[in-house]
Amino acid sequence: MSSDTEDSDISAVRSLLTSMEFLELGLSVWYSPARLKTLRSMKTKISWFKDYYGCRPSVVATIWEDLQTTTVDEARLDEDRLNPKHFLMALHTLKRYPTDNEREGPWDINRDEGRGLVWYYLRKLQALKKEKIVWPQDWGNDIWIITVDGTHCWIEEPMHPDWSQDKSFYSHKYNKAGVNYELGIAITTSRLVWMNGPFPAGKSDNKIFRQKGLKEKLKSILKKAIGDKGYNGHPAECSTFNAHDTRNVKKFKSRALKHHENFNNMTKRFDCLAGRFRHGVDKFATCFESVCVICQYQLEDDQPLFDVLIEDIYYD
């Protein structure tokens, strides 16, 4: 088989649904046809859909297509698993984080089968990070290119061979066991371009930045991040608040970090990240990275973060 034929096979769309079809399919799990028929407002339907699946049906339709056409082998769906309802079930797990018992009834599926399907689709979604969360090759002339921050999430206490608790996972933000992900958001394009983790929450943001690759990456291209005071000590690679900053610069840094916090808040709208995660660190990584991929799609679907570079932040 020629390479052209192989490329054609990879890019062939095998099962497409429109956003409207996903909307109707997703709502049919929770509402009777008679109830849906009485609802005329499209805005309300989309709001209900987002409440159950975390994003608009247009985003779901785009992801569903990409999972079939991607050139990332580990992300591409198998032909015998092209079931959009099962895909919605996986998205519902991210958004509402149900137990197996809570999933079984609405989706009319037994516990073991439902569990297996959910993790199959979420691992495929996670693997799309290779296409969606990419460090740009050219940053132009800007010096400050990203904001960096660690985001903590609460997890079930990991097992320790000797003690009842593993202090390395202690999160000062939750006062409980947690994990930490280092995220980098491009300032001018509002895209997630760096995702590193998970790390035990006891490992500080500063140590992760210094030891786990981002500092060296910035140093190699002579660019800088903007971070909060937890990143003090690396002035050549990460700018923090400085008493000598002009009013314009202070305002810019503040807006850049709020811009980053908006993305963190997007991820915490998914219940699997907002409360205690009960499936272990490996599966937490699958859920966290899947959510970040979805958020990236949302940013592209006419839902960008606010513009840091608007004119009214500057003063004469």
Give the tens place of pLDDT for each residue, 251-308.
Answer: 999 999 999 999 999 999 999 999 999 999 999 999 999 999 999 999 998 778 888 8
CA pair distance 201, 243, nearest whole angstrom: 30
Is there a contact between 125 and 283 (Cβ–Cβ < 8 Å)?
A: no
- pLDDT of amino acid 161: 63
- pLDDT of amino acid 164: 61
Residues of the chain with pLDDT under 70: 1-13, 160-164, 310-316
CA pair distance 239, 184, nearest whole angstrom: 14
Residue given tokens 């009214």 in the structure block = 312
- pLDDT of amino acid 163: 62
- pLDDT of amino acid 158: 84
Is there a contact between 115 and 93 (Cβ–Cβ < 8 Å)?
A: no
Give the tens place of pLDDT for each residue, 219-261.
Answer: 999 999 999 999 999 999 999 999 999 999 999 999 999 999 9
Is there a contact between 195 and 182 (Cβ–Cβ < 8 Å)?
A: yes
CA pair distance 316, 296, nearest whole angstrom: 36
Measured CA distances, 263 to 46, 154, 310 (Å):
21, 18, 18
40 phi and psi, to 5 degrees? Answer: -95, -20
- pLDDT of amino acid 2: 45
**H or E segment and range at residue 9:** helix 3-11
Structure tokens, 277: 């995660």
176-186 vs 238-239, strand pairing mode: unpaired
